[in-house]
A and B are shown apart, each in its own frame.
Chain A
Amino acid sequence: MLNASALSRLFARIFNHAGPAVASVSALVLGWEAYVQLSGISPTALPAPSRVLAQGFENREALAGHTLATLQATLFGFASSLSAAFMFSTLIDFFRPLRRALFPVFIITQTLPLVAIAPLIVLWFGFGLTPKIVLVALVTFFPMLVALAQGYESTDRDLSELLASMGASRWRIFIMARLPSARPYFFAGLCISITYAVVGAIFAEYAGAARGLGIYILNAKNNFRPDLVLAAVFVSSTLTLLLFGATVLIQRASMPWLRLSEPTR
């Protein structure tokens, strides 16, 4: 039975952990609300948080539909970029010269300004899901590739030598040692690129789409509805934070040994 004192200790821990963040965010929102109320600024210039919340709630069905479209683009795009990153990082790990051939190309893709490239991708692939997937993949592929390539390199040399002395093939060593060694790097890369992924999807939608938070934001802006723009921004931030949180949870669950401390001898 979870008794009351254990429960209150749990809450105390959560509060200690999250308290400062909650306080600073609340202060920001309250200050914003107070400024809007006291200055009498027009809601078409700066809507109060209370108004953003109310209007967001009123348009919840539309918002939910568009969010779903963005989430879909994010996850599909991310899945493609992950598969590609796995494939290329493995290829590069087995055929080193490929690294010098491919890395410059990958780095160039990272230098392309999204503002310029997003409309072009929409032009080439239409208004459907494909251009979003392409853009999300473009944004997240390189960080994942670098994370994996570095992760393989981090393999303990003694471990590879040991496996070789046991008669393991190069592929076996990759599966048994290099791939698991890359796990912490993989998750570090995942945490970063999952946040890029949502932004990438919204950017693609902004450049032209039938559905999605990006096009919702564009339409709200054109209709002089900054309250709805901010409501959509709030939703997209929440979405990113949830994906980030899910990544951290998976990371913790998949590497239980990292939370184990020194001996209980």
Chain B
Amino acid sequence: MSRPRLELHRLRKSFGAVDVLTDISLTVLPGEFVSILGPSGAGKSTILQMLIGATDPDMGTMLLNGAPLVPKRDRFAFMPQRDALMPWRRIIDNTTLGLEVAGLSREAARAEVAPLFAEFGLAGFEQHYPAQLSGGMRQRAALLRTVVQQRPMLLLDEPFGALDALTRTQMQRWLAKMWSRHHWTVLLITHDVREAVLLSDRIHVLSSRPAHVVHQFRVPRDHPRQGVGSPALAAIEAEILQTLLHPEN
């Protein structure tokens, strides 16, 4: 078995008197899609905050490729909850953001991103402003902005939470298809059980605050994920829901 891309060991975090995370341990293998699933307000996003260096854990260790993680040096490709597109930049210039920050000229960054627009279903919308795009397209643009950064890992923080139900389902299937093509290493934060089951190889279910990993589920990836009609997936989904609703049993 290959060395884990990311290892989190016994992370603990409190804000003032509020214990947010008590005991978070998980691993992500290269090319693996791992989800953290938990109720709203459980502190799921705090885990990502610690990975991108926006806040530090009180205790515990974080390893990237086996070496201690240095938040300001080791960078992940992070996608925040809402699309966080800049309304004043055209779509092409939103997707080049990470490359520009990394030091590329705007022209070079554009040249790198432009060929990917078709695959992300954004061809022809390069010169549009975000306000002209639908919610699904905005999320695809945000994901394009995330993956072009060529980081060792993608961190997705409830990427489809703000979309309507139908668009969300479409986006989940689209992401499943994209992942099966690119095999990105992904850590996904979500509170949507179906989303987690559809997309993940492994799912860590968190308790409500103070959060710890209650249970880990493995989703067999031996068939193309279509999300509906698979009894195996439906069974896992039911089991996870049961765990979320009755964490004590």
Contacts A156-B82, A165-B76, A255-B88 aside, 6 further interface pairs with beta carbons under 8 A come to: A158-B80, A159-B80, A164-B54, A167-B101, A257-B87, A260-B131
Q: Do A165 and B131 touch (CB < 8 A)?
A: no
Binding site secondary structure of chain A: helix
Q: Is B39 an interface residue (CB 8 A)?
A: no
Contact residues of B between 116 and 161, Cβ < 8 Å to A: 129-134, 137, 149
State the Cβ distance, A181 to closest chain B Cβ, in Å. Answer: 9
Total interface residues in chain B, CB < 8 Å: 27
Closest Cβ neighbor of A183 among chain B residues: B88
Contact residues of A between 171 and 189, Cβ < 8 Å to B: 172, 176-177, 180, 183
Q: Is B81 an interface residue (CB 8 A)?
A: yes
Q: Do A162 and B88 touch (CB < 8 A)?
A: no
Closest Cβ neighbor of B72 among chain A residues: A167
Q: Is B84 an interface residue (CB 8 A)?
A: yes
On whether A265 and B75 interact (CB within 8 A), knowing A166-B98, A177-B86, the answer reads: no
Q: Do A161 and B54 touch (CB < 8 A)?
A: yes
Which chain A positions have C-beta within 8 A of B84? Answer: 156, 158-159, 162
Q: Is A256 an interface residue (CB 8 A)?
A: yes
Contact of A162 among B72, B78, B131, B134 (CB under 8 A): B78
4 tightest A-B contacts by CB? A158-B80, A165-B78, A257-B129, A165-B52
Closest Cβ neighbor of A161 among chain B residues: B54
State the Cβ distance, B70 to closest chain A Cβ, in Å. Answer: 12
Total interface residues in chain A, CB < 8 Å: 26
Bound CA span A131–B59, Å: 61
Q: Which A residues are within 8 Å of any B CB, using their own CB? A: 156, 158-159, 161-168, 172, 176-177, 180, 183, 255-258, 260-265
Closest Cβ neighbor of A264 among chain B residues: B132
Q: Do A180 and B52 touch (CB < 8 A)?
A: no
Q: Is B166 an interface residue (CB 8 A)?
A: no
Q: Do A260 and B52 touch (CB < 8 A)?
A: no
State the Cβ distance, A75 to closest chain B Cβ, in Å. Answer: 27
Q: Is B97 an interface residue (CB 8 A)?
A: yes
Which chain A positions have C-beta within 8 A of B86? Answer: 159, 176-177, 180
On whether A263 and B132 interact (CB within 8 A), knowing A166-B149, A167-B75, A255-B88, the answer reads: yes
Q: Do B80 and A162 touch (CB < 8 A)?
A: yes
A-B contact pairs, 22 of them (CB 8 A): A158-B80, A158-B84, A159-B84, A161-B54, A162-B84, A163-B97, A163-B101, A164-B53, A165-B75, A165-B76, A165-B78, A166-B75, A166-B78, A166-B97, A166-B102, A167-B72, A172-B101, A176-B86, A257-B129, A257-B131, A262-B134, A263-B132
Bound CA span A254–B97, Å: 21
Bound CA span A59–B129, Å: 51
